[in-house]
Amino acid sequence: MKWHEILIRYGELTTKGRNRKQFITRLRENLRFSFADIPDMKIRAERDRMYISSDKDEDMDELIKRLPTVFGIHSFSPVAKCEPTLDAMKELAINIMKSIDTDGKTFKVNAKRSDKRFPLDTYELQLEMGGHVLSNIPNLHVQMKEPEIELRIEVREHAVYMMVEVIPGAGGLPVGANGKALLLLSGGIDSPVAGYYMMKRGVRIEAIHFFSPPYTSDRSLEKVKDLAERMSRFGANVRLHIIPFTEIQQVIQQQVPENVTMTSTRRMMMKISDAVREEIGATAIVTGENLGQVASQTLESLAAINEVTSTPILRPLITYDKLEIIDVARKIDTYDISIRPYEDCCTVFTPASPKTKPKLEKVVYYESFTDFDEMIKKAVQNREIHTFPKQKQDEFADLL
C-alpha cells in the first residue's frame, strides 16, 4: 500500500488549552528525535492534528511501525491520496480495504466534500463507493452506527484523501512537556519502569546510578548503561550520572549500627541525588520504590529517607504488585536487561536484618560523627556523565 501521509491525533493535548502550542512544538521535536534516521520526514502541524510524511515508501512503513511508541499521540491513521475522479477513487478504496483485515467486519463509508463542484454529492458518493467496496470485498456487512471499519473519504479540489485504520498511539504527553526529573536508576526491574511512567507523563528524565567498585563490577555498570540507552528509546535522550559511592558506603559500615546502614545509605543517595538534581535544573527525584517489597521499603523507612530534602520524591510504582511491574518491564523491553545477574551496591552491603522501622533520631545521631557533606560534594564532583543514545548526542544538544 502506498501511503501519502500519516494523520496524528493528539488526544490529551487538545484538552490542555493555552499550553497547546508548547506541547505541539515538543511533539514535533520529539518526532524529529525518534525518527532521526529518517531525515526526509516532513511534519505539518495544525491546531488539533499533525501530519507526517516522507517521499520514500519504505520510510512511510517504518514511521507507521514505530509511531505507536511516541508519547503524546492518541491515535494515528495512514492516509492515501488519488486524483479526484470516481475511477481513481474506486481503485484506491479497494486497495485500502485489501490492506486490512475485513473478514466478517461491519463497515460504512463516510464521505466529505469540500469541493462542491464534484459531480456526486456526499450522500451519492457514500452510496456509490460503499456499493463498489461491498461488491469487491467479500464478507463485509454495512452498519451505520459504530461500524468496525469506517472508510473515510475527503474530496478536495485537487485530490481525494482516504483512510481507514485508526491505530492507537502510546498516549500520555510528549516527553519534556512537563519538565525534568532525576531518576535513581539501580539496574533492577523497578526503576526503569518508574522512569518509563514519568516519561509517559511528559517528564524528561536524567538518571543517577550509585556505583561501588570493586564490590560491584563493570558488568553491572554496563547493565545500567544499557538500561539508560533503552530508556532513551521512549522518545528523548537520557543522561546518566554515575556516582562513585564506595567510600561513603564503607564509612557507613564503620560508623552506623548494622541494622540502620540501609537507611543511612538511602539517605546519602538521596542527598547526592538532590545535589545533582539542583545542578541539572530538575524539579523532582524519582525512584522505583514500592511499598513492602523489601525491608527498606516501609512507610517509616520512606519517611527517614525523605527527611534529607524538601524536594518532591516521586515513587510512581509505590502501590504496584511485582507481577504488574514485571509485565510492564517486559512490554517496554527493559526486563531482559534488568534480570542479567549482577551485584547491586546495596545488596553487597545489605545487613542480615535491616530495621523495618528505623528511628530517625538514631540514624541522624550516628551520621553526625562523620562529615558526610564533604564526601557528598566529592562524589558529586567526581561523577561520570554519559548521554544516550550515543550517536545523537551532538545533533540534539540543543534539546537537552
- Minimum CB separation of residue 344 from Mg ion in Å reads 5
Q: Residue 237 is placed in which grid cell?
A: 535522550
- Count CA within 13 A, CB hemisphere, residue 224: 29
The site for ligand ATP (CB under 6 A) is made up of 184-186, 188-191, 208-210, 287-289, 293-294, 296-297, 344-346
The interface mask with Mg ion, positions 151-190, x = CB under 5 A, is -----------------------------------x-x--
- Nearest Cα to Cα of residue 242 among 264, 263, 269: 269
The one-letter amino acid code at 115 reads D
By C-beta, is 138 or 341 nearer to ligand ATP? 341
By C-beta, is 79 or 205 nearer to Mg ion? 205
151 among annotated binding-site residues: no
Residue 296 binding Mg ion, by CB under 5 A: no
- Minimum CB separation of residue 337 from ligand ATP in Å reads 12
Query: Is the distance from CB of 129 to CB of 122 less than 8 angstroms?
Result: no
The pairing of strands 5-9 and 49-53 is antiparallel
Q: How many residues does the chain have?
A: 400
By C-beta, is 273 or 387 nearer to ligand ATP? 273
- Nearest Cα to Cα of residue 309 among 352, 334, 278: 278
By C-beta, is 23 or 210 nearer to ligand ATP? 210
47 among annotated binding-site residues: no
185 among annotated binding-site residues: yes
266 among annotated binding-site residues: yes
By C-beta, is 188 or 354 nearer to Mg ion? 188
Query: Is the distance from CB of 315 to CB of 293 less than 8 angstroms?
Result: no
Q: What are phi and psi of 247, to 5 degrees?
A: -60, -45
- Minimum CB separation of residue 38 from ligand ATP in Å reads 33
Position with the least CB separation from Mg ion: 188
Position with the least CB separation from ligand ATP: 188
**Contacting residues for 51 by C-beta, under 8 A, at least 6 apart:** 5, 6, 7, 8, 43, 44, 45, 79
Footprint of Mg ion (CB under 5 A): 186, 188
Which residues are annotated as part of the binding site for ATP? 184-185, 209-210, 266, 288, 297
